[in-house]
Amino acid sequence: MADKNVNNAIDLSDLGLDTITETETEFSIGAMVTLRQLELHEGLNTYTQNAIRQAVCDIVGVQFRNMATVGGSIFGRFGFSDVLTMFLTLDCDVELFQGGIVSLEQFSQMKPDNDILVRIIVKKTPGQFVYDSMRNTRTDFPVIACGVSCVNEEYRFSIGARPGKALLLRDEEHILKDGLTENNIRNMSKWVAAHTPTDSNLRGSAKYRTHLIDVFVQRNLIQLRGE
């Protein structure tokens, strides 16, 4: 429902980029892999303790997830993206046709250009992952998206739908250095909420989003602790 002109179209569908390859050390996810393939992939979901499934399962419906690609989702760097929010919690690189291999975190901050995302490389670095989002109705865009992980003993907090694009924070002040005690979890969630810029749109106010970040970081850390 727009009048944008497309001058060049590049079809990636015959390049064999529609598969997920798993080795002992990594997953190589082609740009044309669909969100449904992510949702159903046993290896990826075992490695992420089903966090990937949880991240994509409310995106519209199965027919839609059978078409939407991981390449389009990540390259778009959409503010509302559950996919970008989730992948930022992983030890993850993207392979660009011209730009080579860069970390997803770096890519997420780059300005959109005409490069092509070829694949996403997820390293099997030991870790724990939890993902959750708040939606006003189940298949709507998220009001807030929150991925929490502990990768190689480093805590990561990825907050999307702020409504700006996902932002990755780490425990810079070593609040969790003595473990996931009730007090540490509370202090950590308050710190993440205070350090994540939020804004208002028709789905929720900035203040509400900041409150949700506090709640979701707490819940996800409690789940990460194994409860």
Ligand X SMILES: Cc1cc2nc3c(=O)[nH]c(=O)nc-3n(C[C@H](O)[C@H](O)[C@H](O)COP(=O)(O)OP(=O)(O)OC[C@H]3O[C@@H](n4cnc5c(N)ncnc54)[C@H](O)[C@@H]3O)c2cc1C
Which parts of this chain interact with ligand X (CB under 6 A)?
12, 31, 35, 59-60, 68-69, 71-73, 75-76, 80-83, 116-117, 141-142
Q: Can you name the residues that pair with 121 across neighbouring β-strands?
A: 28, 93
Of 110, 199, 109, 192, whose CA–CA distance to 148 is shortest?
A: 192
E strand residue ranges, 14-166: 20-22, 26-30, 92-96, 100-103, 117-123, 127-134, 144-151, 154-160
For the bound state, the minimum distance from the C-beta of residue 86 to ligand X, rounded and expressed in Å, comes to 9
Closest CB to ligand X among residues 7, 25? 7
Closest distance to ligand X from the beta carbon of 28 (Å): 14
**Least distance (Å) from ligand X to the CB of residue 22?**
20
Q: How far is the CB of 2 from ligand X (least distance, A)?
A: 12
Q: Which is nearer to ligand X, 66 or 205 (CB)?
A: 66
Report the residue number, 110 or 194, with the smaller CB distance to ligand X.
110
- Separation between Cα atoms, residue 217 and residue 200, nearest integer Å: 20
Which residue's Cβ has the minimum distance to ligand X? 72
d(CA 226, CA 106): 31
Beta bridge partners of 69: 34
Residue 170: CB minimum distance to ligand X, A:
23
Of the two residues 19 and 152, which places its CB atom closer to ligand X in the complex? 19
Q: How many CB atoms lie within 10 A of CB 37?
A: 20
Considering the complex, state which of residue 125 and residue 201 has its C-beta at the smaller distance from ligand X. Answer: 201
